Amino acid sequence: MVPDGWDIQTIADIAKVTSGGTPSRKNDAYWEGNIPWVTTAEVHFNTIVDSEQKITKSGLDNSSAKLFPSDTILMAMYGQGKTRGQVAKLGIEASTNQACAAILLKDNLSTDYYYLFLQSQYKNIRNLSNSGGQKNLSACLVKSIKVPVPPLLEQKKIAKILSTWDRAIEVTEKQISNSQQQKKFLMHQLLTGKKRLPGFSGEWEKKVLSKIADIVMGSSPKSESYNNHEKGLPLLQGNADIKNRLSAPRAYTSQITKECLVDDILLSVRAPVGEVSRSIHHACIGRGIAAIRAKEDTSQNYLYQWLLYFEPKWEKLSQGSTFEAVNSNDIKTLYIDVPQKEEQQKIALILFSADKEIETLKQKLECVRQEKKALMQQLLTGKRRVKIDEDDVPIKEVVRA
């Protein structure tokens, strides 16, 4: 059901659907030009203003590649992970590969409205995929997608309203990025002693981790001890049992091997190596995790923040061809710069305040995204109508009236 004045059609009714192509990789004259060439990896609910790869005029003329105008809607027909079914809007003139469907709307239709509508239909579009092994979309399937067709002025008003939420999302994402960069700068300054807090002096000491913390290397229990009826302890096997840097066990084990306590620092020792989190459970830890507990003269919170700071550097210590991993000795002999405990606590307090600010912004971002999603479901389908006022009508239409 659609409201009065609306219609239901297919993409084939309202647009031309085509795709691009790939110039021969064997001919260097076709590549490294100045014509943007977009792949599905760059199609992820965004406005595309540049591309990673470029082709030449010769590459365009001597292949199935086509040049599409700004405001063309692109849809990924296949690709890895969640790529298939995602859409983007060209903000420039560009070519694409054959995996992108190019949707060129007919006149008197709003690109922004249909771009938003196809965003809202992402999950449904993925379900349209063919029955082949890779479950790709095809031009035929894209053309068959049903779309509402409101009057043009209503399309534009709906897109204009939703763009307000897009701007709010963009602003909040920028705030998060800025806060994360500020936190990174603070960590570098405070955790290395380059910047000292007021009231503190004296030399820092370089100590190995085993001197300032107890380290428990995990050991996996037998699989037959796993259960989902809370027999024994929660089981933390590895990164899959961590969510938002907190323990999130998926199962229990009745065989207890090695244990972590509430508030222990959890360190991933197998790929991805070095990721840091906190335990909110008294749990059994498998071989993918080490539990770290600060000794009396060391702040647990300071140690957690220092290990966060060191997190990107673990890659250099990882080893092994099947797994990237670090061993017990790698962890125990890790050198850490430490001030006196009171200064550690003050530093940790500042850094945790920065974490709290970032988390608050992330929660705000999620709320705005959910608000936009709910509004899209109402406006794009006509369940909730918008009012067209004089400001929405082009001047020539007002003059005619």
356 and 345 belong to one structural domain: yes
Nearest to 195 by CA among 304, 357, 346: 346
In this predicted structure, what is the pLDDT of residue 323? 53
In a domain, 364, yes or no: yes
141 in Cβ contact with 103 (< 8 Å)? no
129 and 181 belong to one structural domain: no
Distance in angstroms (rounded) separating the CA atoms of residues 234 and 25: 53
Here the CATH number for the domain that contains residue 47 is: 3.90.220.20
186 and 244 belong to one structural domain: no
In a domain, 400, yes or no: no
246 and 170 belong to one structural domain: no
In this predicted structure, what is the pLDDT of residue 396? 42
Nearest to 333 by CA among 239, 206, 241, 220: 206
In this predicted structure, what is the pLDDT of residue 388? 84
Distance in angstroms (rounded) separating the CA atoms of residues 198 and 325: 40
185 and 280 belong to one structural domain: no
C-alpha distances in angstroms, 31 versus 54, 59, 90, 189? 6, 7, 21, 44
Structure tokens at 18: 């085509």
In a domain, 265, yes or no: yes
192 and 211 belong to one structural domain: no
286 in Cβ contact with 218 (< 8 Å)? yes
369 in Cβ contact with 169 (< 8 Å)? yes
137 and 195 belong to one structural domain: no
Domain boundary among 283, 317, 338: 338
In this predicted structure, what is the pLDDT of residue 81? 77
In a domain, 389, yes or no: no
In a domain, 401, yes or no: no
In a domain, 371, yes or no: yes
In this predicted structure, what is the pLDDT of residue 134? 65
Please state the pTM of the whole predicted model: 0.81
In a domain, 95, yes or no: yes
42 and 146 belong to one structural domain: yes
Distance in angstroms (rounded) separating the CA atoms of residues 114 and 155: 8
**How many structural domains compose the chain?**
3
**Three-state secondary structure call for residue 119:** helix
- In terms of Cβ atoms closer than 10 Å to its own Cβ (0-12, 13-18, 19+), residue 190 is buried
136 and 244 belong to one structural domain: no
183 in Cβ contact with 351 (< 8 Å)? yes
Helix axes 152-190, 341-379, angle to 10 degrees: 170
Residue 378, number of CB atoms within 10 A of its CB: 13
138 and 161 belong to one structural domain: no
Here the CATH number for the domain that contains residue 162 is: 1.10.287.1120
In a domain, 257, yes or no: yes
124 and 193 belong to one structural domain: no
Structure tokens at 223: 């699989």
Determine the structural domain holding residue 78 and report its residue range: 7-150
- In terms of Cβ atoms closer than 10 Å to its own Cβ (0-12, 13-18, 19+), residue 37 is buried
Q: pLDDT means per 10 residues in the chain (401 residues)?
A: 91 97 96 96 95 96 95 91 93 96 97 96 87 78 96 96 94 97 97 94 94 97 96 96 96 97 96 93 97 97 97 75 76 95 97 97 96 94 86 45 30
In this predicted structure, what is the pLDDT of residue 24? 96
Residue 155, number of CB atoms within 10 A of its CB: 23
102 and 193 belong to one structural domain: no
